[in-house]
Structure 1
Amino acid sequence: MVINLSSKNLNQQDIAVLAKVSTTSTPCSNCDGNNVTCVDGVCLPRCVNVSSSGECLQCLDSRFYGDHCEQDCPDTCLNSRCQMDNTRVVCTEGCVAGKKGDNCGANCPTACTQCERYGDGCTGPCRNPRYYGDKCDVTCPPNCRGGCDKDTGECDSCEPDYTGDKCDVTCPPNCRGGCDKDTGECDSCEPDYTGDKCDVTCPPNCRGGCDKDTGQCGNCEPGYTGKYCNDSCPSQCTECQQHGVNCIGQCHRWNYHGNNCTLLCPVQCRGCVKETGCDKDTGKCISCKQGLRGELCDDTCPSNCTQCERYGDICIGACPNSGYYGRDCSIQCPVSCEGCHKETGLCMECAEGFSRTYCDEICSPCSENTCYRTTCRKRKTDHTVAITTGTVAVVIVLALIIAFWRHTQKGNRTLGSGTNGTTHSEYSDSLAHRDPPQKTCNKEPFGRWPAMSKKIVFFVRDKSSERTRTDSSGCCCCGWWYCKSLVLAVVGRSISWE
């Protein structure tokens, strides 16, 4: 078909044919002037009916206006459709959102997303969802969540704990997590309550609450069973299944076991009213009777134990024979003991012919005159300290005596070698013709020990004479080798050697 585009008048059939031109055709890129428009890649004249005077009687469609359809309708017109009304351009299908007026060139009030074309009333949703009313100038109720209806002010949803069209009614008191906006039905209930509005208490033997809708208990208090925990457990159970017959927990009687607590524990298990004799599920003994051991308590303890470890040979408690001690009661007590401590082997009492003063001492042989059968004494702390201090002092004194002896020996060696070249024999002869020296005791060595003088006192005395003795060189008896008896007074405790 051939269409004459230069014709001043195109009929509707021609326009329809042109509109069906394939979009795969070469795009129009050479549409000249304002009197043609590109439609689906084809340049079409905007005016489809021209008068003899050259005035356009009909535009291609309502998107164009003007004498020659050369003007585009404003973008503010809905779907860009308009027409000329005398000298005014009027949008024919309305305005886009936010605009009003004949040609939709005026803005709506700021509170409106869309408004009346020739007024200030809002026709679409309010720009701020927390407002409603004709002009969106009324705030929504305070407990609304997410705004409210523009016309009625009804809340979209409520804050927790509120219900009603305008969320001005509080939820029932036992609701947890709020309630339905329209019905007031609780989402869930506080423990111990049930019902649509949580206004019914759960059955009395429920533990941890009950179902909101059915009122059935989640768990029962010990001793009860059933959906509503209104049935008692079997008498042999302390607790039982809520929806069964088996016992759970320990059996009511300590010497029974099994699912229904109807089986007797093994006779070798130890038990009492306050202690379960065997495991409820396995029947194994919790502990064994005295004298028994092993997984099943069917093995006897060693003969020297009254009670032993369950999985070993170590005796528990005192040995049955007081004459033995040790972990397995196999070590014989010392002969000086009349019974001894199981752990230490220390005598409990001394045997006949033995005695001791303090309980931590070994029983020693004694004669009739020194054999004390009285109860031993516990050593006091200050007495122990005195013995320790005295021992340390004795060691110090012995060290000082040895030092003094070495000093004296060194002096003797010097004397033996003579003085000024004189031989020992010559020196001895000269001494024979002299008057004997004054026999006074030289206490100089002791004067060198001021630090010890307050704590250590030496008493040097010859058994046969009260006089002070001197040796051939005039040395005083302060030399330790002449001392027949030495008594050390050390911190209130005396030690003597004969």
Structure 2
Amino acid sequence: MELLNRTNTITVPCFNLENVLSVIKTHHIDFYSLDVEGGEMTVLESMRDGLKTRRITVDVWSVEYRVWDGHSIIDDKSMEKLNALRRFFSDIGGCQNSGYYGEDCSLQCPPNCQEGYCSIVDGTCLGCRVGYRGPNCDDQCSNKTFGLECQQICGNCKNSEPCHHVNGSCLKGCANGSYGARCEIACPDGRYGYNCQEKCNVNCGVPYRCDRVTGQCEGGCQIGWKGQTCDTQCNEGKFGLDCNLPCGHCLNNVDCHYIDGTCFNGCDSGYQGSFCKEVCNNNTYGPRCSFTCGNCLYLYGEQCHHVTGQCPRECNVGFQGDRCDQASDSISAESTSNNQLLTILYVCITLLILSGFLNVILVIKQLRNSACKEQKSQENLETHADGTCKSSEQVKPSTIYINECDENCAEYQELENISQTQYNQLQ
């Protein structure tokens, strides 16, 4: 760095190559390789006279012509330098007309030689036109290459086809995931497919992020969606993340909600709950679990079938049928007979109760009448005429007659004397 920063100039002696070769007494060179980082034409010009007069002869030349800017080869400047080299060698010897070779310059150079120049000895091209290669430049660029000396790589052409051998364009368009004149640009984030025309789905695990080629979502799909591009709702009886959860028994076998699995229109017969996965319980069955099981014979924890109501085993005594909801015929006849006997018994008991009640009323009435008569007799004897009967509590014990006859007799039967307390109880 210290030397580069100096401002003084250092002068060194220079000699042209012809003078150097003359001093060392060398006039013929088998192979001459010239690469002096851009100064090749200056060196050759210093040898022009010697080469032209044949004081110096060279069998094979190798001259660097490509121009490098520190990052890449500059094609146009490289071509300018190559053409200058061709003109130089054409001037110092060879055929008078460019594009020909041979002893009498009667043979035409191959058509794809760059600028028509070829070796004056064997006709091999000194360089090829863009898109060709080989000694005679008769081979097009292959293996997905194109351009000068077939050094450039094709872009992402459709169906992996080769690009144009000259300009690198894709003849049938770009493959999915790329765009541009040469299909060399990848789709930006959120885009995919042919010429990047498709947009990644919002239902991707990471919204609008997917593979540039296939559109497959990054991070899978959001809950309730499926497919490579997450463009299909869960169906076929599935719901949830990656559509891995089975729906319950929704009414009429319709799909449940693709995200949370709830049944829109209720449950099929025999099921209940928001997800229709719970069978009917509490001794119920059928639509909305609205029917009650029959008279089944159960073991602990059993109940009838949640859909049909059929009993898991036998019926209780006195019942029959698949659901044990029908009374047995023998029990029904016996029950009917028993009901008739009970009816007769109830009627008899009712009649007996009514008869006893009427008899009590008649006894009480007779007792009162007898008491009044006895009281009047005493009042007459004592000359008391207050016009009223004394209360039943003051009546002395007396002989009372009561009608005990049934429908076949009409006589009175004398009762034994009753006490005052017994009389009061009759009242």
TM-score (norm 2): 0.28
Name the structure where helix makes up a greater proportion of residues. Answer: 2
TM-score (normalised: structure 1): 0.25
Specify which structure has the bigger relative contact order, considering alpha-carbon pairs within 8 angstroms and separated by 6 or more residues: 2
Give 1 or 2: higher strand fraction. 1
